[in-house]
Structures are given as structure tokens and as C-alpha cells.
Amino acid sequence: LDQWLREANQCQALRVAIDVPTGVDAETGETAAVHFHAAATLTFVSKKPAMVLPNAEHVFGQVCVLPIGIPVQMMHEIVTKW
């Protein structure tokens, strides 16, 4: 996997991660020694905790949140229970 990530990171193509870039912790933003360098990340429902940290753009690139059909009211109910 490390070799594939190194090769992918050297590509001149637009590098897009789905949900969270490989090798990046969604909670803390910590990265593995070799991780995917995303120009953009497509994530679902809401941003992950690490996506709002000060250095987030360096790790995740531009973040786009995509809906998957969960009603907003249900999300509010879930969040307030935690």
C-alpha cells in the first residue's frame, strides 16, 4: 500500500479522496508516514472532526460534504443525545 500511495501522490492528476484520505485519522488529523495527499475530499453527511482543525486543508484538500439522505432533524437528534 505504501508504494501505491507514493506513486499516487506523484501523479499530476487531480487526487480526490472518498470520505477520508488513506492514512489519515478522521478524529485527530494525524497522518501515517505515507498517506494519500488529497487535493479534495468528498465526505458524507458532515465533516469529520479533523476536517475543522487549523491545518485541515493541508491534509484533506478542499472538503465537500455530500448528503446521503439522512434527514437534518434526525442528525440533530443524534448529536444532542451524545
One digit per residue, the tens of pLDDT, for the chain of length 82 reads 999 999 999 999 999 999 999 999 999 999 999 999 999 999 998 899 999 999 888 989 999 999 888 887 887 787 787 6
| Angle (CA) 78 30 45, round 5° | 30
pLDDT of residue 42: 97
CA gap 28, 14 in Å, rounded: 25
pLDDT of residue 64: 96
pLDDT of residue 17: 97
* DSSP H helical ranges for the chain: 2-10, 56-60, 72-81
- Single pTM value for the model: 0.82
- CA 22 to mean position of chain CA atoms: 9
CB-based contact 36:23 (threshold 8 Å): yes
pLDDT of residue 82: 66
**Which among 5, 45, 53 has a CA at the least distance from the CA of 26?**
53
